[in-house]
Every structure is written in C-alpha cells, then in structure tokens.
Amino acid sequence: MNTKTAQRAPSKAHSESLYEMPGHLIRRCHQISVALFHQECAEYGITPQQYAILWVLSSHDGVDQITAAGLAALNRTTAGELVARLEDAGLLTRQDGSDDRRVKNLFITKAGMKLIRDVDTAVRRVQERLLEPLDKTERRQFIACLARIASVNNELSRAPLRPASGKAAVVAGS
C-alpha cells in the first residue's frame, strides 16, 4: 500500500459509513424484499416483476405492452421478455392492436387472474415481513417517504413509472 495514500485523512464524503448511506441501504432492502418474495411465493413460480405485470393487467386489462411496462415501472425490453414468459405459461395473451398491428395489447387470462388472487396472501406476507421491525406509525411514514423519493425522482429511473392517465404518480401520504 502506498504510504502517502495510507496517511491521507478521509474526505468528508468518505467519513460517512457505507452502512449509513441511503443508496446502499435501499439496495440492501431491495435484495431482502426479493428474497422474501421468493420465499413466500416459491410455490407459485412467479417473480416480483412477473407479479407486477399481472397485477397491472388485473386492473388495466387490454393495455398495450408499452403502457403495461410504464404502469409496472419496467423498461420495455424487460417487460417484453416477461410478457413472453407469461404468455408461454398461459397467464396472459397478446393480440395485435386494432389500429396498428405492431402494437401488442395484453390480456390477462383466467389462469392469470387466479394466480393473482392465489398469490395475494403470500405477497401481503412479504410486505408484512419486510416492515416487521417498524411499528404502525413508522410503517406509514416509511412508505410515505419512499413514495415521495420515488415520485420526485421518477424521471431519473431507467424505467420510470408511467401512469395510464398521464397524471403524475401519486405520493403516499400526501
């Protein structure tokens, strides 16, 4: 190790612990959330992103693939791959748009709706387990803060949330 490097005092930016940095903590919490999802939902053979697409279609059936990607805050390429897998599994169908055959409209199947209903309890358990360390008030505050951060910084995302109505994303607790 270079002795000049070893003798330098840490910069102010470096003096903050990695384990106190919000970005690092958010990434770790995301990893934990995904792990919990896979534990609780293993029997359903579904990923969090597949769940998001099916959840979107359960309330916006028939939207085009790009709109579904925006509603699930997924990039178009990822959404396309997920849609293909979900179609192969019989959980949704793709149909050419009535005005433009290049547009693919997505429709959730009966099997897809059944899966969304069946997995609901497991998905709720994931959320409960993730927030278990917080009391009821802290949970509301935490969700409100996360929603505000996501909403204010939406356009910085590689896959911004695109509400169907074209309105800005709703911030929880506002």
Supply the pTM of this predicted model.
Answer: 0.82
φ, ψ (nearest 5 deg) of residue 34: -65, -40
Tokens of 147: 């929603």
**Residue pLDDT, tens place only, 60-93:** 999 999 999 999 999 999 999 999 999 999 999 9
Q: DSSP readout, 115-130?
A: HHHHHHHHHHHHHHHH
**Residue pLDDT, tens place only, 104-156:** 999 999 999 999 999 999 999 999 999 999 999 999 999 999 999 999 999 99
CB 67 within 8 A of CB 161: no
